Amino acid sequence: MLQVVIFFSAHGVPLAYVEEAGDPYKAEMEECVDLIIEELEKRKITNAYTLAYQ
């Protein structure tokens, strides 16, 4: 069976927003990806994945 890499793409935010203002966006995106991957694994889908910011 052919497997593809799952590519999650999120909008980038300035680093200062995350570090100085405490913007939760990065953590929320990572949590969302983790939840999706957990669900896929429950269904025996084990594709490689990556999260990128644009």
Instruction: Give the side-chain half-sphere CA count within 13 A for 10.
Output: 16
Q: Which residues, in sequence order, are bridge partners of residue 17?
A: none
- Please report, as a single letter, which amino acid is at residue 51: L
19 belongs to a structural domain: no
Q: Is residue 6 part of a domain?
A: no
Q: Which domain holds residue 48?
A: 24-54
Residue 10 in any domain: the answer is no
Q: Are 12 and 53 in contact (CB under 8 A)?
A: yes
Distance CA 48, CA 40 (A): 11
What's the structural domain count of the chain?
Answer: 1
pLDDT by 10s per residue, the chain, length 54: 678 999 999 998 888 877 888 888 889 999 999 999 999 999 999 999 999 998
Q: What is the pLDDT of residue 25?
A: 87
